[in-house]
A and B are shown apart, each in its own frame.
Chain A
Amino acid sequence: MTGSAAKIEVSGLRKTFGPKVVLDGVDLELNVGESLVVIGGSGTGKSVLIKSIIGLLVPDSGSVKIDGQEITTMRPSEREAVIRKFGMLFQGGALFDSLSVWENVAFGLVQGRAMSRREAKPIALEKLAQVGLDPEVGELSPAELSGGMQKRVGLARAIATEPEIIFFDEPTTGLDPIMADVINDLIIHCRKQVGASTISITHDMVSARKIADRIAMIHQGKIIWSGPVSAIDDSGNPYVEQFIHGSAEGPIEMQVLKP
């Protein structure tokens, strides 16, 4: 490793889809063991940002370093080794509906790490217990679960391989406030247990305040503010002010047609 304490170093990241510029030179750092929350409105490129870091999307230009290793120029085989450090909780859960719940949780162990199913099952059930689900749930299929339970299974799957870096893509979106808080607690709990560095993206300020060490705000493809969670209320940045108060009036103009 290089001497720097940064787990992830992103600089000048650009990504366009046709004429639409989604990321316009993003600079971001994630320190070891830190919980960074990226906030921003819908369609500001939050998902594209983490998908570019994890390698699901190929950025147009810019650099992404994981533990000091540049991954945008890596060969696919090397990149696979780096992806092993990651875990990700997807917005919709993204559970494999052809597999049972415990097979979902064990997927990274069985397919990614070539562990036998018999060895992987107790680990999967243990991870399910960590997110508060009974072993009986393990035998169900994902379609039989509620949205909150699917999120929990997704969380169990993301932490099953004990990754060093975990991404949470809108972990509380679409959940009622109580279930959202349960998920927040689980995220904090799992992070402590696994000791991972995490990046979460959300537009839920309650969740952001609860799980973040540091908050960064993305707007029009750029990080416009970043600072510790305690500083969010006196950021002095009009964009951040508008966002955290959820006000329609301010420098951020939503692209809606005014009547």
Chain B
Amino acid sequence: MNFNLLGAIGRAVLAFLQIAGRLLLFSIEGLSHCIRPPYFPRLVLRQMIEVGYYSIPVVSLTALFSGMVLCLQSYTGFSRFSAEASIPMVVVISLTRELGPVMAGLMVAGRVGAAMAAEIGTMRVSEQIDAMTTLSTNPIKYLIAPRLIAGILMLPFLVLLADIVGVFGGYLVGVYKLDFNAQNYITNTFEFLETLDVVSGLVKAAVFGFLIALMGCYHGFNSKGGAQGVGRATTNAVVSGAMLVLVSNYIITEAFFAK
């Protein structure tokens, strides 16, 4: 057999390191432009509306149904050993620590990551990014930095919203379907909730926001080859954004809660 296994592994490792290196340089450059003047407040505001405001319906609906189904399923399990009183706590902790950030992150990766990659990718293949450079404007500062800032700032807000809506979903199912006492449900929800549960979720959200925007921008910025290239960039942005959300979620959880 003429297949060189070691060679193939070596090539894959080198390709991976190359991409990792490029990505690191790209994100350092992007972040450094976030904090160096001149700033573009109008562009940042526009991206914040795009990332934050327009994601509210998607994220709310996702969170609502996640909270509802969480309450329903916990009941199935917990009622078997008469621990129904813990359900509100399970719902709120699951939501604030995991489901809120992850669900919102995945939805935003699909919605915003794709839009960023498609827009920047089209600008790349139609030479608009080159044109920007010839007009003495740094495209990283003008295009990438505002999107990174918007991602980092808006995701925590969306996750906070997801937490609230999700708990409300659990409350609806608990009170109107499973016949909990409304007063008790709310009391039990907040009794064991700690600040760290919510804060860890918001920290996750900021990291996810950065990663999603970074993937959208990176793939768009480096797209080539016309419409097909933009399509590929969009797919890559969504897939890599979603994967990074899940991987970094585990790493951050480990950092916060590992004993």
Contacts and interface: CB of A to CB of B under 8 A. Distances in A.
Contacts, number: 55
Contacts of B131: 88, 90, 94-96, 157
Contact of B136 (A51, A95, A96, A113): A113
Nearest to A166: B134
Interface in A103-139: 107-108, 111-114
Given A80-B136, A111-B136, A112-B135, A92 B126 contact: yes
A95 B128 contact: yes
A51 B130 contact: yes
Question: By CB atoms of chain B within 10 A, which of A94, A97, A108 has the most?
Answer: A94
Nearest to A56: B130
Nearest to B142: A111
**Consensus secondary structure, chain B interface:** helix
A84 interface: yes
A108 B131 CA distance: 10
Given A92-B127, A94-B127, A114-B38, A56 B133 contact: yes
Given A92-B126, A94-B128, A95-B128, A157 B135 contact: yes
A96 B134 contact: no
Nearest to B141: A111
B127 A90 contact: yes
Nearest to B130: A56
A114 B135 CA distance: 12
B181 interface: no
B137 interface: yes
A28 interface: no
Question: By CB atoms of chain B within 10 A, which of A56, A83, A107, A111 has the most?
Answer: A111
B142 A94 contact: no
Contact of B137 (A87, A98, A111, A157): A111
A161 interface: yes
A10 interface: no
A87 B136 contact: no
B134 A54 contact: yes
A61 interface: no
A86 interface: yes
A235 interface: no
9 contacts: A51-B130, A83-B134, A88-B131, A90-B127, A90-B130, A111-B136, A111-B142, A113-B136, A157-B135
Q: Please provide the 10 A-B residue pairs with the shortest distance between their CB atoms, ordered closest to farther.
A: A112-B136, A108-B135, A94-B127, A94-B131, A111-B137, A88-B134, A90-B127, A94-B128, A56-B130, A84-B136
